[in-house]
Structure 1
Amino acid sequence: MSKRTKKQAFTNVEVLDAGAKGKTIAKAPDGKVIFLSNTVPGDVVDVQTFKARKAYYEAKATVFHKLSDKRTTPACEHFGVCGGCKWQDMGYEHQLFYKQKEVTNNLTRIGHIELPEITPILGAASPYFYRNKMEFSFSDSRWLTQEEVQSDADLGDRNALGFHIPGMWDKILDIKKCHLQADPSNTIRNAVKQFALDNGFEFFNTRNQTGLLRTMMIRTSSTGDVMVVIQFFKEDKAKRISLLDFLAETFPQISSLQYIINEKANDTIYDQEVICYKGEDHIFEQMEGLKFKINAKSFYQTNSDQAFELYKITREFAGLTGNELVYDLYTGTGTIAQFVAKKAKKVIGVEAVPDAITAAKENAQLNSINNVEFFVGDMKHVFNDEFITAHGHPDIIITDPPRDGMHRDVVQQILNIAPKKVVYVSCNSATQARDLELMDAMYKVTKTQAVDMFPQTFHVENVVLLEKR
Structure 2
Amino acid sequence: MIKRGVRLRLRRYYSLYEYPRLVRSQGERLIAEDTNLPRADIKKINQILKKKVTTKRSDAIEEITHSNNIITLEINDFLKKLNEEDGTNLQLKDIYNSKSVIKSFLPHTNNARVFTATVRDVSTDGYGLAITSKNYINQENFTILKIPKVCKGDVVQVLIKFHHEFYAECEVVEIIKSGGGRDDSLVKCQHFKTCSGCQFQMIPYKYQLRHKSKSIEKAYRYFYPELGLEYVKVVESLLQYNYRTKLTPHFFVNKGIINKIGFESVYKYLRGVDVIHCPIATEEVNKLYSELRPQIINKPPKQAQFTIKQSLENGNPTAVEGFKNIITEKVNDSIFQFSSSCFFQTNNSILSPLFKYLESQIDECNFELKNIVDTYCGVGLFGISLAKVKKDIKVFGIEISQEQIQFAEKNVKLNKLNPKHVQFISGDASNIFKNEKFNKMKIKGSGSLVIIDPSRKGSNKEFLQQLIEFEPDMIIYVSCNVFTQARDLAMFKHLQKQVNYKIKELIGFDFFPQTKHIETVAILENCK
Report the TM-score, using the length of structure 2 for normalisation: 0.67
* Counterpart residue number, 1:462: 520
Once the two structures are superposed, residues 353-395 of structure 1 have per-residue CA deviations (whole angstroms, 9 ceiling, x without a partner) of 1111111110011101122111111222344376664332232
**In structure 1, what is the equivalent of residue 125 of structure 2?**
21
Cα 1:64–1:181, aligned 2, differ >3 Å: closer, same or farther? closer
Query: Could you tell me the percent identity over the aligned residues?
Result: 25
Matching residue within 384, 387, 390 for 1:343: 390
Residue aligned with 1:176, SS = coil
> How far apart, in 2, do the equivalents of 1:81 and 1:116 lie?
35
Q: Deviations over 1:206-232 (max 9, x none)?
A: 5xxxx69963524245942323225xx
Is 1:76 the equivalent of 2:189? yes
Residue 335 of structure 2 is matched in structure 1 by 291
SS in 2 for 1:312: helix
Question: Which amino acid letter does the alignment assign opposite residue 229 of structure 1?
Answer: E
Structure 1 residue 122: Cα displacement? 0.7
Shift, 1:417, TM fit:
1.7
CA shift in 2, pair 1:424/1:54, >3 Å: same
> Structure 1 27/189 Cα, relative in aligned 2: closer, same or farther at 3 Å?
same
On the 8 A contact 2:156/2:173 being kept in 1, the answer is yes
Structure 2 partner of 1:252: none
Give per-residue Cα distances to partners, 1:132-152, cap 9 Å, x unaligned.
12233456659xxxxxxxxxx
1:10 & 1:213 partners in 2: Cα distance?
A: 36
**1:23-72: CA deviation from partner (whole Å, max 9, x where unpaired):** 22234455765432232122123555445556544444445432112112
- Match in the other structure for 1:184: 284
Aligned ranges for residues 398-417 of structure 1 at < 5 Å? 398-417=451-470
1:219 aligns with one of 304, 307, 310:
310
Specify which of 372, 379, 394 is matched with residue 429 of structure 2.
Answer: 379
Separation of aligned partners in 2, 1:169 and 1:224: 42
Q: Which residue identity lines up with residue 360 of structure 1 in the other structure? A: A
**What does 1:115-264 correspond to in 2, within 5 Å?**
118=231, 120-137=233-250, 141=254, 159-165=259-265, 171=271, 173-194=273-294, 196=295, 203-206=298-301, 215=306, 217-221=308-312, 223-229=315-321
C-alpha displacement of 1:118: 4.0
Contact 2:120–2:153 (CA under 8 A) maintained in structure 1: yes
Residue 427 of structure 1 corresponds to: 480
Structure 1 CA distance for aligned equivalents of residues 164 and 378 of structure 2: 39
Q: 1:212 to 1:437 in 2, by over 3 A?
A: closer
User: Aligned in 2, Cα 1:387/1:193: closer, same or farther, shift over 3 Å?
Assistant: closer
Q: Counterpart of 1:452?
A: 510
Correspondence for 2:177: 66
- 2:153 aligned partner, one-letter code: G
The answer to whether the 8 Å contact 2:260/2:273 transfers is: yes
**Is the contact between residue 162 and residue 170 of structure 2 (CA under 8 Å) also seen in structure 1?**
yes
Structure-2 residue corresponding to 1:44? 155
CA contact (8 A) 2:246 2:310 kept: yes
User: Whole-Å Cα distance in 1 between the matches of residues 400 and 466 of structure 2?
Assistant: 17
Q: TM-score, normalised by structure 1?
A: 0.75
Counterpart in 1 of 2:206?
A: 93
Out of 302, 311, 317, the position equivalent to 2:355 is 311
Structure 1: tracts of 5 or more residues without a match: 143-156, 231-268, 275-280
1:331 pairs with 2:377: yes
Contact map agreement 1:135 1:216 (CA 8 A) in 2: yes
Shift of 1:184: 3.5
Judging by fraction of residues, say which structure has more strand: 1
Q: How is 1:271-290 mapped onto 2 (pairs within 5 angstroms)?
A: 274=324, 282-290=326-334
Q: 2:490 matched to which residue of 1? A: 437
Distance 2:481 2:501 in 1: 20
How far apart, CA to CA, are the structure 2 residues paired with 1:468 and 1:116? 20
Farther off after superposition, 416-425 or 32-41: 32-41
Note if contact 1:116-1:445 (Cα within 8 Å) is conserved in structure 2: no
Say whether the 8 Å CA contact 2:433–2:439 is kept in structure 1: no
Residues in 2 aligned to 1:218 and 1:438: alpha-carbon distance in whole angstroms = 37
- State how far apart, in whole Å, the 2-side matches of 1:61 and 1:167 are: 10
- Residue by residue over 1:278-316, the C-alpha shift from the partner in whole angstroms, topping out at 9 and shown as x without a partner, is xxx534211221111233333221101112322332333
Corresponding residue for residue 393 of structure 1: 444
Contact 2:449 2:472 in 1 (8 A): yes
More helix by share: 2
> 1:71 aligns to what SS in structure 2?
coil
Structure 1 CA distance for aligned equivalents of residues 434 and 488 of structure 2: 18
Deviation of 1:191 (Å): 3.3
Could you say which residue in structure 2 is the equivalent of 1:418? 471
Counterpart of 1:243 in structure 2 is none
Deviation, structure 1 residue 421: 1.5
1:297 counterpart letter in structure 2: S
Distance 2:521 2:193 in 1: 31
